[in-house]
């Protein structure tokens, strides 16, 4: 029995005939099948879209909250069942931190073209919201939460593992995208008993298409430059330059 029957208090955006075609296309591409297209539609509903509507509807943040927990449970269970003998708890935590990260979820979201179906407000659209990692990762979690409610644990587990098992393998084989800010911080704290400092040295472009250049400083030495569409990305790139330099 679908969990949807015990919780129908949400107010989803109306699924028009055109929207129904879009959602069915998403289902085919993502290899999902929802009992309730209204629930799937709600998973795509960003708060910026809700704020511009003249009728009361919900956003996807509660589904995102649920999806985050379901995602972590599925990954932790998989690691426990498959690597119990060969890994310690710290290995599980490290692998999980990579595979359920914003970067990882945003890449999966792009792969199944979530950005084509998100309902966002005009302002968010103008500022490039469809391409923002945080927004894509959050929507991915909301879809996981909605699929769990709609179809149950077993179906959502299959969906999650289809995309995350390859990511788990990448981490185990050290082929994953590195979190250089964390690696650099751990290195600098251990060797110099200090923390890296990130300085914005330049920024250009309008608010909706801003580019940042950042340098990282520690032990009286400057490293970089890292460039990115936001400070977080630029800092990560600057940290990568610094970490590869000091460990090469």
Crossing angle of helices 102-111/153-172, nearest 10°? 120
Q: Which two tokens stand for residue 223?
A: 């490293």
Q: Is 91 a catalytic residue?
A: no
CB 47 within 8 A of CB 59: yes
Q: Which is catalytic among the residues 68, 124, 138, 235?
A: 68
Half-sphere exposure of 59 toward its Cβ, with a 13 Å CA cutoff? 16
DSSP three-state, residue 176: coil
Closest CA to 179 of 113, 80, 187: 187
Can you say whether residue 221 is alpha, beta or left, with left for phi > 0 and alpha for psi between -120 and 50 degrees? beta
CB 118 within 8 A of CB 98: no
**Given CA atoms 87, 89, 90, 96 in this order, what sign does their dihedral have?**
positive
- The CA distance from 179 to 227, in Å, is 16
Q: Which is catalytic among the residues 38, 124, 138, 141?
A: 141
Contacts of 69 (CB under 8 A, 6+ apart): none
Q: Is 58 a catalytic residue?
A: no
Neighbours of 90 (CB within 10 A): 8
- The CA distance from 123 to 126, in Å, is 5
Place of tokens 């959602």: 23
Q: Which residues are catalytic?
A: 68, 141
């Amino acid at each position: 029995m679908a969990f949807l029957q015990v919780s129908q208090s949400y107010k989803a955006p109306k699924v028009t005939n055109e929207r129904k075609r879009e959602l069915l296309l998403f289902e085919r591409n993502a290899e999902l099948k929802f009992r309730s297209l209204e629930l799937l539609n709600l998973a795509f509903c960003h708060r910026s879209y809700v704020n511009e509507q003249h009728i009361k509807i919900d956003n996807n943040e509660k589904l995102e909250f649920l999806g985050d927990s379901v995602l972590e449970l599925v990954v932790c269970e998989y690691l426990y069942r498959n690597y119990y003998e060969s890994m310690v708890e710290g290995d599980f935590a490290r692998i999980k931190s990579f595979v359920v990260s914003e970067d990882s979820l945003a890449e999966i979201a792009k792969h199944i073209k979530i950005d084509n179906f998100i309902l966002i407000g005009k302002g968010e659209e103008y500022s490039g919201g469809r391409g923002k990692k945080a927004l894509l990762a959050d929507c991915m979690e909301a879809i996981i939460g909605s699929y769990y409610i709609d179809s149950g644990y077993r179906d959502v587990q299959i969906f999650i593992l289809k995309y995350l098992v390859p990511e788990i393998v990448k981490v185990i084989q050290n082929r994953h995208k590195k979190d250089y800010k964390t690696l650099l911080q751990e290195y600098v704290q251990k060797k110099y008993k200090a923390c890296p400092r990130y300085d914005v040295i330049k920024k250009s472009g309008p608010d909706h298409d801003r580019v940042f250049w950042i340098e990282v400083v520690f032990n009286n030495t400057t490293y970089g430059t890292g460039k990115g569409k936001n400070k977080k990305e630029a800092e990560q790139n600057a940290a990568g330059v610094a970490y590869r330099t000091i460990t090469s």
